Amino acid sequence: MRIATFAMVLAIVATPLVATAQDSVKVDEQIIIRQVQTDRRAVYAQNLQLSDSESRAFWPIYDECELAMKKITDRRLALLDEYAAKFDTLTDADADRLLAERMKLDEQALETKQKYAKKVQKALPSVKALRYAQLQDRIDNIIAAQVFSLIPIAR
């Protein structure tokens, strides 16, 4: 399946992060995010096989959703940067705040996905709307697995 190719590309792109210094992780994150955004769009285009009218309806919704999710992703990355900066000196208070913020971001991401899934469902046939949601989940899970494998567990 084409998603496997995307997963392999993402894994290859993300692998160098393991060996990088903390200072360069932020730059590498941005490179990966740009690549993922490009690859993600291609995965949707290839797997949804939209007609011209479906494309005109879908891509503006997709772009709007990606912009909303980027705001959440940026906040997640800032949270990860903060965690990395405090890794050796993490206090219970820091951990409580980081955990609360993470849960809040998870809720916001789910709300955003639900909002845009409904819009996609109105714009596309139901089978394609379901395929969109499935692709979104698979891509997000692949990215999460790669990112989380790079983050050390709190001591």
Q: What is the pLDDT of residues 84-128, one digit of tens each?
A: 888 889 999 999 999 999 999 999 999 999 999 999 999 999 999
pLDDT at 30: 64
pTM for this entry: 0.75
Of 147 and 18, more confident: 147
pLDDT at 12 over 60: no
Angle between helices 2-14 and 126-150 (to 10 degrees): 20
Q: Which domain holds residue 16?
A: 2-150
Of 118 and 22, more confident: 118
Instruction: Classify residue 123: in a domain, yes or no.
Output: yes
List alpha helices for 49-125, DSSP H. 52-86, 92-123
Residue 1 in 3-state DSSP?
coil
Looking at every residue in the chain, the average pLDDT score rounds to 83
pLDDT at 5: 47
Count: domains in the chain? 1
- End-to-end CA distance of the chain: give it in Å, rounded: 39
- What is the arithmetic mean of pLDDT over 19-29? 53
Instruction: Classify residue 132: in a domain, yes or no.
Output: yes
Contact 25, 84 (CB under 8 A): yes
Instruction: Classify residue 95: in a domain, yes or no.
Output: yes
Contact 6, 146 (CB under 8 A): no
Structure tokens at 80: 């990860």
CA distance 116 to 49: 19
Instruction: Classify residue 155: in a domain, yes or no.
Output: no
**In degrees to the nearest 10, what's the CA dihedral of 43, 46, 51, 53?**
20
Structure tokens at 146: 């790669």
Mean pLDDT is lowest, of 18-22, 38-42, 99-103, for: 18-22
